[in-house]
Amino acid sequence: MKHFTYERASDRTDAITQVAANPQAKFIAGGTNFMDMWKEGVETPERLIDIRKFPGEITVTDGTLRLDATTTNSQVAYHSQVRDRYPVLSEAILAGASPQLRNMATTGGNLMQRNRCSYFHDVSYPCNKRVPNSGCPAIEGINRMHAIFGTSDRCIAAHPSDMCVALAALGAVVQTRKPDGETRNIAFKDFHLLPGDTPHIETALEHGELIEAVEIPPLPWAKRSHYLKVRDRHSYAYALVSAAVALEIEGDKIVNARVAMGGVGTKPWRSPEAENALIGAKNNEESFIAAASAALEGAKPYQYNVFKIELAQSTLVQALLTVNSEQ
């Protein structure tokens, strides 16, 4: 086991300065994702800077919901404003991990969690994400859990988060602070990167850049929203596929729609194709089936995950039917 040092940062500036000063340093929040990979030998930092004790507040200003990066997953999922205004977010978080893990896991850590590809987690295999240009055994190997959108010939790992699928659908914004003091507002769609030729670069963050908060802009009609996750067992399992949907309905017409999918993309997968098919259509099953077909166009399955196309379509249709039945 590689020796490392641990320090609790006094404030955000201290944390950023300490991580930026050492290319082998990392932030640690709840530790639920990091500790697994440290024990596996996948993560080998020299220095850990603990940020978990920073204030973790949830506030609403002019209709915008702000989640400090250190809010816990439980705190967010059970907050009255989240449950009332964005049920899809609460449901997505509660569909993940276990109560104990959600009590420790943070918003920032959830965004930064790494993938569940078994070759990535076993250091006896090559993996382009872990060791650039070493190869990707998943492409010709056991790829049942892997992605069907956004893949490259370097990496096909699916993004594992449930919470991020809801945040993608809601058009969240990630607020960060860089080591030079500059703050950034990163649109959620730009936060996670496609693997391309550099699968080891997973997000838009620079080394030492801290996520300070996630903001969800006002979206009053997202009260009518839902998250549906399909997995191998009912709890403590990552998504095979999932769907986050929100609909605004007037009369028998859909006037606004948000759709994102989990378990299918190398990043949380928003589907403008499905949204465009829904907006202006009648709110009935026929429209939902057409939207699900549009959402899965262009999917590129591998040997063991062809089933994800049909499963994702039916999951999306079921999620839309559920939202449509809500008053």
Binding site for ligand FAD (CB under 6 A): 26-34, 36, 51, 69, 73, 96-97, 101, 104-106, 108-110, 112-113, 160-163, 210-211, 236, 238
Question: Closest separation between CB of residue 157 and ligand SF4, Å?
Answer: 4
Question: Closest separation between CB of residue 134 and ligand FAD, Å?
Answer: 21
Residue 60 three-state SS: strand
| Angle (nearest 5°) at CA 284 between 264 and 82 | 60
Q: How far is CA 17 from the centre of its chain?
A: 27
Between residue 134 and residue 173, which ones bind ligand SF4 under the rule CB under 6 A? Answer: 136-138, 155-157
Question: Closest separation between CB of residue 71 and ligand SF4, Å?
Answer: 28
Residue among 26, 129, 159, 258 that touches ligand SF4 (CB under 6 A): 129
The interface partner of residue 28, options being ligand FAD, ligand SF4, none and the CB cut-off 5 to 8 Å by kind, is ligand FAD
Report whether 132 contacts 148 (CB < 8 A).
no
The interface partner of residue 29, options being ligand FAD, ligand SF4, none and the CB cut-off 5 to 8 Å by kind, is ligand FAD
Report whether 291 contacts 259 (CB < 8 A).
yes
User: Quick one: 149 or 238, whose CB is closer to ligand FAD?
Assistant: 238
Nearest CA among 186, 191, 184 for reference residue 165: 191
Between residue 180 and residue 209, which ones bind ligand SF4 under the rule CB under 6 A? Answer: 199
The interface partner of residue 128, options being ligand FAD, ligand SF4, none and the CB cut-off 5 to 8 Å by kind, is ligand SF4
Question: Closest separation between CB of residue 230 and ligand FAD, Å?
Answer: 12
Phi, psi of 132 (to 5 degrees): -50, 135
Question: Closest separation between CB of residue 118 and ligand SF4, Å?
Answer: 8
| Placement of tokens 């893990």 in the chain | 101
Question: Closest separation between CB of residue 168 and ligand SF4, Å?
Answer: 20
Amino acid at 93: I
User: Quick one: 70 or 128, whose CB is closer to ligand SF4?
Assistant: 128
Please count the other Cβ atoms lying within 10 Å of the Cβ belonging to residue 3.
6
Q: Which long-range contacts (CB under 8 A, 24 or more apart) does 6-11 make?
A: 6/47, 6/48, 6/50, 7/47, 7/48, 7/49, 7/50, 8/49, 8/50, 8/53, 9/49, 9/50, 9/51, 9/54, 11/54
| Angle (nearest 5°) at CA 267 between 247 and 262 | 50
User: Quick one: 15 or 257, whose CB is closer to ligand FAD?
Assistant: 15
Looking at beta carbons, which residue is closest to ligand FAD? Answer: 109
The interface partner of residue 96, options being ligand FAD, ligand SF4, none and the CB cut-off 5 to 8 Å by kind, is ligand FAD
Between residue 109 and residue 128, which ones bind ligand SF4 under the rule CB under 6 A? Answer: 115, 117, 119-120, 127-128
Question: Closest separation between CB of residue 94 and ligand FAD, Å?
Answer: 10
User: Quick one: 54 or 119, whose CB is closer to ligand SF4?
Assistant: 119
Q: Give the span between the Cα atoms of 151 and 154, in whole angstroms.
A: 8
Q: Could you tell me the maximum CA-CA distance found in the chain, to the nearest angstrom?
A: 63
> Which residues pair with residue 28 across a beta bridge?
50
The interface partner of residue 269, options being ligand FAD, ligand SF4, none and the CB cut-off 5 to 8 Å by kind, is none
Structure tokens at 241: 């596929």
Using CB under 6 A, list all residues that contact ligand SF4: 115, 117, 119-120, 127-129, 136-138, 155-157, 199
